[in-house]
Amino acid sequence: MKGGAVIEQLALVRSACFDKTGTLTQGRPELVEVRAAPGVEEHDLLRLAASAEQYSSHVLADGIRRAAHERSIPLSSATRASEVATNGVTAVIEGREVVVGKPGYVAGLTPDMEPATLAPGQAAAYVAIDGRFAGALILADAARPESAEVVAWLRRHGVARIAMLTGDARATAASIAATVGIDDVHADLLPAEKVHLAAGLRPRPTMMVGDGVNDAPVLAAADIGVAMGARGATAAGDAADVVILVDSLAKVAEAVAIGRHTVRVALTAIWIGIGLSLGLMIVAMTGVIPAVGGALIQELVDLATILYALRALRGPTSGLMPSPRASSVA
């Protein structure tokens, strides 16, 4: 946690936004099917798509590259490549222009694109080769086992609104949202749209939880940005107020609990100090306590207040969910 002000904001959080991939889900999509268009070989489709995805930072790109590696498919280097953040990548592979990305991005370049039918929890990366639709790669990324419990814990502890903000397709987002218990879903978003929605979410303060380079702007725009930093998302970690150092969403609930416990202990310590000081001042007005004795007693009052405030170091003693791994919030 980057400072005392962050702890105070966590104690007051009333709205929470979650990215989907790598935050509510495990962030390790697995290729489950290669759907090649007529006249295109599945092997060639995966090989060219994975070669192009070498130049993408999207989490689905990692799943496609990993699938090609597991099938011992050699990848080729591009002579030219460019990526449109959150939308897709275009690369010239072996003299052929390969486009891999979201349906809207590929459809804008390939009018004959055919949307894929997806099962719950699946996502598709669409591929075009030399301006023609070549097929789709179907990937599945399951929800984290702790995601539903984190969402339920936040609701039980006064977070009035919980939303999902994701750039993924609505059908995929809705499936994961239903699994984890979120009914406020905003899908097909660009980074700028995420920032706008997070800034307008009510009631405040708002906490945004995400990972990856594309989440850095919205983490910075939220009242409290929480980055899942276990996988080295440096940009997101730099922009966030809280960084989770292990791959567990349960630490989000623990961070909120720590904030509330710390503020509660601090306020109690303040009132203890004020109460003791007022009581001793009234007694001192009778002349019973000499000046030197009063000064020493005031030091004891300060010491008692400090010792009580140290209870914050123990952390919250109840209400936390078990984490799948021993870890810490930094």
Give 10-residue mean pLDDT values along the chain (330 residues). Answer: 90 94 88 94 95 89 94 94 88 95 88 84 91 94 92 94 90 90 92 90 93 81 87 69 90 93 91 88 81 81 85 68 44
Residue type, 177: A
Distance separating alpha carbons of residues 263 and 269, to the nearest angstrom: 10
Distance separating alpha carbons of residues 141 and 176, to the nearest angstrom: 9
Distance separating alpha carbons of residues 96 and 230, to the nearest angstrom: 37
Q: List, in sequence order, every residue forming a beta bridge with 270; answer none if it has no partner.
A: none
Is 19 marked active-site? yes
- Backbone φ and ψ for 227, nearest 5 degrees, come out as -105, 135
Distance separating alpha carbons of residues 75 and 62, to the nearest angstrom: 13
pLDDT at 321: 52
pLDDT at 317: 60
Distance separating alpha carbons of residues 70 and 65, to the nearest angstrom: 9
Q: In what order do the strands lie in the sheet with 15-18?
A: 184-186, 161-165, 15-18, 206-210, 224-228, 242-244
Give the CA radius of gyration of the chain: 26
- Backbone φ and ψ for 299, nearest 5 degrees, come out as -65, -40
Given the residues 19, 215, 223, 241, the one annotated as active site: 19
pLDDT at 328: 42
Is pTM beyond 0.85 here?
no
Distance separating alpha carbons of residues 248 and 208, to the nearest angstrom: 16
pLDDT at 77: 94
pLDDT at 326: 38
Residue with tokens 């990548």: 89
268-291 b/e with 16+ CB inside 10 Å = b? Answer: ebeeebeebeeebeeebeeeebee
Distance separating alpha carbons of residues 207 and 51, to the nearest angstrom: 37
- Report CA torsion sign: 162, 168, 169, 175: negative
Residue 310 CB coordination number (10 Å): 10
Here the tokens at position 111 are 């009018």
Q: Write the Ramachandran bin of 275: left for phi over 0, alpha for psi from -120 to 50, otherwise beta.
A: alpha
| CA dihedral angle for residue 326, residue 248, residue 215, residue 219, rounded to 10 degrees | -60
Distance separating alpha carbons of residues 13 and 152, to the nearest angstrom: 15
Residue closest to 245 by CA, chosen among 253, 257, 233, 263: 233
Contact 256, 157 (CB under 8 A): yes
